[in-house]
Amino acid sequence: MWRRLFMLVLCGMPALWADVCDGLPAGPPKESKLFGSNEPLSFKLRLKSGGAAFRITVRPIWQIKEADHVVIDETRAGEIEVARCEDGKQLQVLPIAADQPMNFGSTFHADDINFDGYLDFSVVCEFAASGARRCHWVYDPGSQLFAQNELTHELAGWWGFNEVNPAKHEITRHFPVTAMAGCPDTVEREEERYRVNNNHLLLIHKQEIMREPQICTVTESDLIGGTMRVTKVRRFDAQGQPVK
């Protein structure tokens, strides 16, 4: 009798220890839409190779009432639940502040934005015709939780497409295409490159575009000796040909 019970317990233990993140994707499916759904989405976030993993559930909490009227609490338009994969224990519930009824999970993305070796995550929390603004949370290895700090607050003010380069430890801010309106297609759009210094963004490179009558001027500046200095100027005519 006791032997039989012991074997039943042993057989049940793998189920108790099962990873609750099994089968979860690392990011949203490509067909996910930003608007029109308030269904939660869950993801598996492994901080680094061989490191701890978390189940991240992004849950919009706005509601659609009669006549397509949306009820939304701008201080908590959604929330992000963080749970351990190994046992499913809930560790955090992080509010998403937004004034638009979005499916925040459809924009979930993980990057190491402070280059400390651990993945952080973000979701779009504001959207406009000119681009989107992301809200970020960084992993704190001390508390083993996710938090917002000076760096995430600075990044929250950015609009447009941002690119993280882990090899160079740089974050590039790409401005909306409208910033270069009037310049030929051969001209790159405006951008800024930053490094992270003590949880603050440090500008190290800037490319500005100015449209003048018949001329498009591209000015590049770099951080030299603690000061941003112009290092290169290029000019193009309306056909995209270089001019002096």
Q: What are the pLDDT digits (tens) for 166-220?
A: 999 999 998 865 545 567 666 678 899 999 999 999 999 999 988 887 888 999 9
- Quick one: which of 134, 130, 102, 132 has its CA closest to 121? 134
146 sits in the region (left: phi over 0; alpha: psi -120 to 50; else beta) called beta
Position 124 confidence tier, pLDDT thresholds 50, 70, 90:
very high
How many domains does the structure of the chain reveal? 2
| Same-domain status, 201 and 148 | no
Which residues span the domain enclosing 201?
162-244
Of residues 17 and 10, more confidence is placed in: 17
In whole angstroms, how far apart are CA 76 and each of 96, 154, 221?
5, 20, 40
| Same-domain status, 105 and 185 | no
Q: Looking at the domain assignment, is residue 3 inside a domain?
A: no
| Same-domain status, 108 and 189 | no
| Residue 12 confidence (pLDDT) | 46
Last residue of a domain, one of 127, 159, 191: 159
Q: Does residue 65 register a pLDDT over 80?
A: no
Of residues 139 and 3, more confidence is placed in: 139
Q: Looking at the domain assignment, is residue 65 inside a domain?
A: yes
- The pTM for the full model equals 0.84
